[in-house]
Structure 1
Amino acid sequence: MTTRTLIRDLAAADDGPISVSGWVETVRDQKKVQFVVLRDESGAVQLVNPRTDDNTELCDVISGLSQGTFLTAAGELKHDERVKLGGVEIKLAPTDSLTIAAHAIAETPIADDSGIDKRMDWRFLDLRVPRNSLIFKVQTTFEHAMRTWWIDNDFVELHTPKLMASASESKAELFEVGYFETKAYLAQSPQFFKQMAQSAGLGRIFEIGPAFRADPSFTSRHATEFTSVDAEISWIDSHEDVMRMHESLLVAGLTAIKEKHGDAILEQFGIDVVVPSTPFPRIPLAEAKRIVAERGYEVPRADDDMDPEGERQISAYVKEVFGHEFVFLTDYASSIRPFYHMRHADDAGLTNSYDLIFNGVEISTGAQREHRIEVLEQQARDKGMDPEELDFYLDFFRYGVPPHGGFGMGLSRALMLLLGLPNLREATYLFRGPTRLLP
């Protein structure tokens, strides 16, 4: 079998016999010569076939090629700086130069101007576009860099279950599924299990895994199934320790992305990846609301939270004043935070928690957790919860848990904002929403 060469490696290869495999992107069938642009996962190259009396069979094959046909091409590699596509081309041999692996239907169901829903219907074709496939190369680098940072800093990777006997946070957004003679719930987050690891003495843990929210939202930034990036650490003094860990992790991830994909991102998305300086700006929520009001926008919510326009406004302020794409909004009211968030020592109405805003949108929530069992039980009652229904969780604390905290971050949402995408669907390999279960 002829050794396959990736197209990205052709520039460094010597002139001479070569074999590449990929799919047909375009065919230009001219009177004296035929050109085929062949693309693989690494790039594109031009195949050239001069028409002669000796290769009429090959000419007919090329004339019949449809976009998307997968094939292997063998010929002579030639370096030529005049060739716009990579400075190389492959001249096909008169015979036995094309081996077709699978033909494609001539009429493609999507085009460059197809809407997002149509593109999602034909996602496997949509991802043949270099711009779209780049998203998941960036995602791979991002995840690898975060894992490397965690492992270098002595974190333990866990894989928590996604089938649960009871709610991890709120029953309002749970998917209920049949489970033999009883019922189970799809996990909204690994929150309880991350905290269990602190009681187990594992200290520093992380997970990248699926999470599910039965939220009927149709916004550009919500999904019913998403990938959650989570970390939890023991022996903290406050949520400030969690924020320092979080920002260090993001700097590691964005540094790797810029080094490996910075040029491609600039070419495909017009985005110059910025590695943020540390520390990220930190603004208490009450102060952030005052700043936003001074900019002419009153946050209308009466529930002590920040709304989407408020997030955009405070991000614009931070960009103008600090030149930064990230901002931690801190000190959220206990009324809108989960029962397990620790309250301020001098003000039970506030929590040791934060939201991380990136380019105008919240991507993460983090906090110091309450580790004292008697306080935790009371905070659950204050939220109208029955501690007996939380017994499996509260048992962690009855046998001792160190002061700890952590965060959960949406992977696709972070990628969407990094690349300036208009919709979370583009940053998700196969999106799931209230009306989408296919493909």
Structure 2
Amino acid sequence: MTRTLVADLHARVGETVTVYGWVDTLRRQRRLQFVLVRDHTGIVQVTHVRGGEQDPIEAAFERVTVESAVKITGEVVASPQVKLGGLEIVPSRVEIVSLAEPKLPIDEKTGIDQRLDWRFLDIRRPSQHLVFDVQTTVERAMRELAAEERFTELHTPKLMGTASESGAEVFEVGYFGRTAYLAQSPQFYKQMAIAGGIDRVFEIGPVFRAEPSFTSRHATEFTGVDVEIAWIDGVEDVMAFEERMLHRVLTAVAEQHGEAIAEHFGTRVVVPELPFPRITMADALARLRATGWDREGVKDDLDPEGERTLCALIAAETGHEFVFVTRFPAAVRPFYHLRPEDDPTVTESFDLLWKGVEITTGAQREHRHDRLVAQAREKGMDTGPLSGYLDCFRYGTPPHGGLGLGLGRLLMLALGLPSIREATFLFRGPHRLEP
């Protein structure tokens, strides 16, 4: 039997087809049996007129349970009264491939924690399946732009001999009598590629953060989108690339999934205008304090409340959902961020906020060996474990910069989901290692 997808049935009216899928809904009446069958492309109604005791289809539909895996063969019939696409299948053969237990452990009213326990059932729902259809479109659009702009896609190691930033947020792993660390960022390896003459680096891969955080936007393992660009004139080149990338991504999402996202999540995908608004951290802090945020005037970075308030201010002024916050203080940025000559107390760095949430951190990197060493020591770091990284800057490294973007946060905000847990296939957090 050749499988026909539900999405392709409109082109097969009057023909006999076989669909594979799960039983979504059962409605058994005195004369008729209605079975809704769902595959990853849609739902179709199967309508059977009962034939009595010797009718194998009637017997199968009496026996089958919701979420059973089935194969249905029958004629595709145009039926304008059917709400599901104006067609139905009149079955001639029914095969129950795998019978589901009659009592399901979750339903549409079940809370998120229990749904995550039964994630394989949860993602059968069309709304949850849509999340990963959108994710596929997002990654494809990113890769298309990267290819057009002649990036090289790399896959960097996820086992490291030294922590890439601070030891407080890394997972330690036993490694043949040594201690290794799960990569909390591909940062060092991206820069190593730049030093190796790979001018434009692109990666989509796993990132690990040992943060005991229970917010709606944090995970201990997530998918990161990382970019590094050589021979830049300044950090503006990095921000401009991200603008182009997100414009390409959201255009593709709106065109391919906009109607489905509105139907399932009530969210309208807005394709942003270019360029995005920009504001320095100093100006952002001043604007926020004028609203009553940080009344003591002691904060030098944005907290979640500050991010939400700043985005609301920018949106009210410009109508834009995005804003770049630039020139973060050196005190709150890693040692490898470049500090401008006119003000070494700040860095040529940025965060990108979208709908009140930070989705990207980026910067121009310090490419001069002596300054890198000095900035690391200034932050009290032992440069010994960093020697493999620092060696990359001893033999001529071009000016460069890059960014890291959280794919889960991007999906969460694009779809209007309440938590990153619903934007992740199998979520990992401080209290979740299964399934």
Common fold by TM > 0.5: yes
Report the more deviating stretch, 291-300 or 233-242: 291-300
Q: Which one of 224, 233, 236 corresponds to residue 237 of structure 1?
A: 233
Query: Which amino acid counterpart does residue 80 of structure 2 have in structure 1?
Result: E
Residue 209 of structure 2 aligns to which amino acid in structure 1?
R
Contact 1:285 1:330 (8 Å CA) reproduced: yes
Per the TM alignment, residue 55 of structure 1 is displaced from its structure 2 partner at its CA by: 5.0
Q: Is residue 116 of structure 2 the alignment partner of residue 120 of structure 1?
A: yes
The answer to whether the aligner puts 1:192 opposite 2:188 as a matched pair is yes
| Deviations 1:355-398, CA, capped at 9 Å, x for gaps | 00010000110000000111110000001012222110000000
Distance 2:375 2:328 in 1: 15
Classify the secondary structure of the residue corresponding to 1:85: coil
Residues 360 and 405, structure 2, Cα contact 8 Å, conserved in 1: yes
Partner of 1:39: 38
Note if 1:132 corresponds to 2:128: yes
Residue type of the partner of 2:5?
L
Q: Which amino acid aligns with 2:247?
A: V
* Cα displacement string for residues 53-85 of structure 1 (whole angstroms, at most 9, x for unaligned residues): 375332122012111100100111101211101
What SS class does the counterpart of residue 168 from structure 1 fall into?
A: coil
Asked whether 1:90 is paired with 2:89, we answer yes
1:299 Cα deviation from its structure 2 partner? 6.8
Contact 1:17 1:77 in 2 (8 A): yes
Cα 1:300–1:105 change in 2 (3 A) is farther
CA distance in 1, matches of 2:271, 2:289: 30
Alpha-carbon distance change, 30 to 203 in structure 1, aligned in 2, over 3 angstroms? same
Residue 408 in structure 1 maps to residue 404 in structure 2: yes
Kindly tell me: are residues 271 and 231 of structure 1, through their superposed partners in 2, closer, same or farther at Cα, counting changes over 3 Å?
Answer: same
Residues 1:73 and 2:69 aligned together: no
For residues 115 and 373 of structure 2, what CA distance do their matches in structure 1 show?
Answer: 48
Q: Identify the range of structure 1 (170-179 vs 14-23) with the bigger mean alpha-carbon deviation.
A: 14-23
Q: Which amino acid aligns with 1:187?
A: A
RMSD (CA atoms) = 1.2
Alignment pair present for 1:399 and 2:382: no
Q: Distance in 2 between matches of 1:437 and 1:270?
A: 31
Instruction: State the match for 2:29 in structure 1.
Output: 30
Which of the residues 316, 323, 334 maps onto 2:319?
323
Distance 1:309 1:298 in 2: 10
Q: Deviations over 1:270-318 (max 9, x none)?
A: 1111110111000011111222223333376835100100100011111
In the alignment, is the contact (CA less than 8 A) between 1:332 and 1:351 conserved in 2?
Answer: yes
- 1: CA distance between counterparts of 2:174 and 2:15? 61
Please name the residue that 2:175 is paired with.
179
Where does structure 1 lack aligned partners over 5 or more consecutive residues? none
Q: Which residue of 2 aligns with 1:15?
A: 14
Residue of 359, 365, 369 corresponding to 2:361? 365
> 1:294-305 counterparts in 2 under 5 A?
294-298=290-294, 302-305=298-301
Q: 2:151 aligns with which of 155, 173, 192?
A: 155
Secondary structure at 1:388's aligned position in 2?
A: coil
Contact 1:328-1:354 at 8 Å conserved across structures: yes
Matches within 5 A, 1:332-411: 332-411=328-407
Contact 2:73 2:91 in 1 (8 A): yes
Change (3 A) 1:427 1:236: same
Report SS of the residue matched to 1:290.
helix
Cα pair 2:64 2:96 within 8 Å, conserved: no
- Counterpart-to-counterpart distance in 2, 1:248 and 1:345: 28
Which residue of structure 1 aligns with residue 4 of structure 2? 5
CA contact (8 A) 2:328 2:350 kept: yes
| Preserved contact between residue 293 and residue 306 of structure 2 (Cα < 8 Å) | yes
Write the letter of the residue equivalent to 2:252: A
What is the identity percentage for the equivalent residue pairs of Structure 1 and Structure 2?
54
Q: How many residues align?
A: 435
- CA separation in 2, counterparts of 1:28 and 1:99? 18
Equivalent residues of 2:145, 2:248 under 8 A apart: yes
| Counterpart AA for 2:6 | I
Shift of 1:338: 0.1
The one-letter amino acid paired with 1:168 is: S
**Could you say if the C-alpha distance between residues 54 and 105 of structure 1 is closer, same or farther in structure 2, counting changes exceeding 3 Å?**
closer
Q: Is the 8 A contact 2:289 2:297 kept in 1?
A: no
The structural deviation recorded for 1:400 is 1.2
Q: Deviation of residue 52 (structure 1)?
A: 2.2
Write the letter of the residue equivalent to 1:353. Answer: S
**Aligned: 1:219 with 2:215:** yes
- With over 3 angstroms needed to count, the CA separation of the structure-2 counterparts of 1:360 and 1:300, relative to structure 1, is farther
TM-score, normalised with respect to structure 2: 0.98
Q: How far, CA to CA, are the matches of 2:297 and 2:79 in structure 1?
A: 63
- Give structure 2 stretches of 5+ with no counterpart: none
Q: Residue 299 of structure 1 contacts residue 306 of structure 1 at CA under 8 Å; is this kept in 2?
A: no
Specify the SS of the correspondent of 1:435.
Answer: coil
**Is contact 1:283-1:327 (8 Å) kept?**
yes
1:146 corresponds to which of 135, 138, 142: 142
Once the two structures are superposed, what CA deviation does each residue of 1:108-167 show, in whole Å capped at 9, x if it has no partner?
A: 001111111001000001001111110010000000000000001000000000000001
Which of 197, 200, 207 lines up with 1:201 in the alignment? 197
Higher mean C-alpha deviation, range 419-428 or range 10-19:
10-19
| Contact persistence 1:303–1:336 (CA under 8 A) | no
SS in 1 for 2:422: helix
Partner of 1:252: 248
Does 2:45 align with 1:49?
Answer: no
Output one character per residue of 1:77-114: Cα deviation in whole Å (capped at 9) or x when no partner: 10121110111100112xxx111111111100011111
8 Å CA contact 1:299–1:310 kept in 2: the answer is: no
